[in-house]
Amino acid sequence: MFRRVAIIGGGAAAATLLSELLERKPSQPLHLDWYTGGGTLARGVAYGTASDRHLLNVRAASMSMFAGKPSGFLDFLQREDPTIAGTDFMPRRRYGDYLEAEVARALAQGKANGHDVNVIPFAVEAVVPERDAVTVMHGEESRLFDAAVLALGSLPTQPLSGVSAQALESGRYVVDPWALMANADKLPTPRKVVLIGLGLTAVDVLLELSARWPQTDFTAISRHGLLPEAHLNAAAAPTGDSGELIEAMRESPDVRHWLHLLREALAHERDWRAVLDSLRPHTPGLWRELDQEQRARFLRHARWAWERARHRMPPQVGRSIAALEGEGRLHRLRGRMKSVAVLGDNLQLQLASVPAGNPQTLDADLVIQTTGMNNDIRRTGHPLVGQLLTNGHVVSDPLGLGMQAMPDGRLARGEDYWSNLFAIGSMLRGTLWESTAMPEIRQQARSLADQLLAK
């Protein structure tokens, strides 16, 4: 077993792994240092919002931190309010409350089990893995560990290409929508806001800012101009066995053929959601069946459709967004942003129409980038990731989906893999594809805890 372990990152994935480790009673106690980066423990960006408008997009019954305690989150909620149902979509801030409570309980349990745990509220600046140890550095201090785990979450968002330096300097082009929403009441109310991207991040921004700024009109642009799909009011289960579909997909790992198989399966179901949900436990294995060319084809041609169907809005959120459109305050456009420049007191966007057509120009008081999470370690300002990549300690996924790794989380070092440097969560997206939601992260945390503590 690895007796001295560093967990690097302060969000939900790190908190889940920490809790899994501290619940165990290994033959020897652990020395565990958790480098949280100084933010609020466990919440991260995803669960740090204070707004009740921002809901989980997974039902309460499926959001436990622990694979071995499937009703954990629902039990937490019902201790305060027994009327909450497992099918409810709860505010994300309540999930943050649950994470904080579980971390506090785990820290107390770890102490009772004899573990030595240090919560270090600093960001790690460098990690140097070697065959027998990993050195972790912050400031003037360095510590030696048997193993280290990167639980970094989504990387800092970078401005899209085509955004001028003047637009960024003006403060009217916003790269981080979460910081903007936290301070929206302190800003002058804009008349016209343009969102670049139409995924779940855009939905969160629209819900919050349309309420904060009731006189503001919003335009949202994306390649297809489509919002995420919405969940049904009641969960649906597939009417048939998905095993036949899974086996057929494994036999022929080709994206075009998979789409054909999915269309056939959908034709026999009352609702398409049941078919997609039945694939979820098998998605990492199916992803591993695809070679590099097929993965790239999926990202080019099918990713947009998969993500809007797979990452769905709660039904009440879907109704709120539809009402915003019905009032004429939200307009959706198909297009691709080519440039953003300063024009007088406004920003001017040049769009390429999709499909190819006449270019379009939009003026806006404020432009918000809502393209979602960044997993590309080749294009980030994250200091630790830059150090690891520059020094050759990690390898980028060829398609920009995090770091090359084994399915068990061991990170690549050239042609080989480290035995003592791991990742959990979003950095494994290139290896597992589904690697950012709590149902997947809790399974990773359980397996990784088993691996770290194995004799």
- In whole angstroms, what is the distance from residue 333 CA to residue 202 CA? 13
276 and 326 assigned to the same domain: no
350 and 392 assigned to the same domain: no
203 and 264 assigned to the same domain: no
Cβ neighbors of 403 (< 8 A, separation 6 or more) are 150, 377, 394, 395, 396, 397, 411, 412, 423, 427, 428, 430
Q: What is the pLDDT of residue 239?
A: 59
Q: What is the pLDDT of residue 41?
A: 85
Q: What is the pLDDT of residue 237?
A: 66
221 and 292 assigned to the same domain: no
- Going across the sheet that includes 126-129, the strands are 126-129, 134-138, 141-145
Backbone φ/ψ region at 357: left (φ over 0), alpha (ψ -120 to 50), beta = beta
pLDDT at 355 over 80: no
pLDDT at 320 over 80: yes
Q: What is the pLDDT of residue 268?
A: 83
pLDDT tens-place string over residues 235-264:
766 556 688 999 999 999 999 999 999 999
271 and 396 assigned to the same domain: no
273 and 419 assigned to the same domain: no
Q: What is the pLDDT of residue 240?
A: 61
Percentage of the chain beyond pLDDT 90 is 83
What pairing do the DSSP bridges indicate for beta strands 173-174 and 366-369?
A: parallel
Q: What is the pLDDT of residue 67?
A: 87
In a domain, residue 148? The reply is: yes
Q: Can you give the chain as a three-state secondary structure string? A: CCCEEEEECCCHHHHHHHHHHHHCCCCCCCEEEEECCCCCCCCCCCCCCCCCCCECCCCHHHCCCCCCCCCHHHHHHHHHCCCCCCCCCCEHHHHHHHHHHHHHHHHHHHHHCCCEEEEECCCCCEEEECCCCEEEEECCEEEEECEEEECCCCECCCCCCCECHHHHHHCCEECCHHHHHHCHHHCCCCCEEEEECCCHHHHHHHHHHHHHCCCCEEEEEECCCCCCCECCCCCCCCCCCCHHHHHHHHHCCCHHHHHHHHHHHHHCCCCHHHHHHHHHHHHHHHHHHCCHHHHHHHHHHCHHHHHHHHCCECHHHHHHHHHHHHCCCEEEEEEEEEEEEEECCEEEEEEEECCCCCCEEEEECEEEECCCCECCCCCCCCHHHHHHHHCCCCCECCCCCCECECCCCEEEECCEEEEEEEECCHHHHHHHCCCCCHHHHHHHHHHHHHHHHCC
- In whole angstroms, what is the distance from residue 92 CA to residue 78 CA? 16
Residue 328 CB-density burial (10 A; 0-12 exposed, 13-18 middle, 19+ buried)? exposed
- In whole angstroms, what is the distance from residue 67 CA to residue 23 CA? 13
122 and 56 assigned to the same domain: yes
In a domain, residue 238? The reply is: no
Q: What's the predicted TM-score (pTM) here?
A: 0.94
pLDDT at 346 over 80: yes
Q: Specify which residues 32 forms β-bridges with.
A: 5, 117
What pairing do the DSSP bridges indicate for beta strands 126-129 and 134-138?
A: antiparallel
Tokens for 70, please give them.
Answer: 């499937």
In a domain, residue 160? The reply is: no
Q: What is the pLDDT of residue 392?
A: 95
365 and 379 assigned to the same domain: no
Boundary (domain end) residue, out of 332, 352, 369: 369
Q: What mean pLDDT is predicted for residues 6-25? A: 94
CA distances, 323 to each of 184, 331, 389 (Å): 22, 12, 46
In a domain, residue 449? The reply is: yes
Percentage of the chain beyond pLDDT 70 is 98
Boundary (domain end) residue, out of 353, 369, 385: 369
405 and 333 assigned to the same domain: no
Average pLDDT of the residues of the chain = 93
In a domain, residue 420? The reply is: yes
Residues spanned by the domain of 297:
243-306
20 and 102 assigned to the same domain: yes
Domain tally, the chain = 3
In a domain, residue 235? The reply is: no
Q: What mean pLDDT is predicted for residues 300-313? A: 94
Q: What mean pLDDT is predicted for residues 296-322? A: 95
Q: What is the pLDDT of residue 241?
A: 65
- In whole angstroms, what is the distance from residue 369 CA to residue 134 CA? 37
pLDDT at 23 over 90: no
In a domain, residue 109? The reply is: yes
339 and 407 assigned to the same domain: no
pLDDT tens-place string over residues 138-187:
999 999 999 999 999 999 999 999 999 999 999 999 999 999 998 898 89
259 and 316 assigned to the same domain: no
Query: Own/partner pairs for 178-182, CB < 8 Å, 24+ apart?
Result: 178/45, 178/48, 178/49, 180/205, 180/368, 181/49, 181/51, 181/205, 181/208, 181/209, 181/212, 182/50
Q: What is the pLDDT of residue 38?
A: 80
CATH number, domain with residue 190: 3.50.50.60
Q: What mean pLDDT is predicted for residues 429-448? A: 94
- In whole angstroms, what is the distance from residue 208 CA to residue 210 CA? 6
pLDDT tens-place string over residues 43-83:
988 899 999 999 999 999 999 999 889 999 999 999 999 99
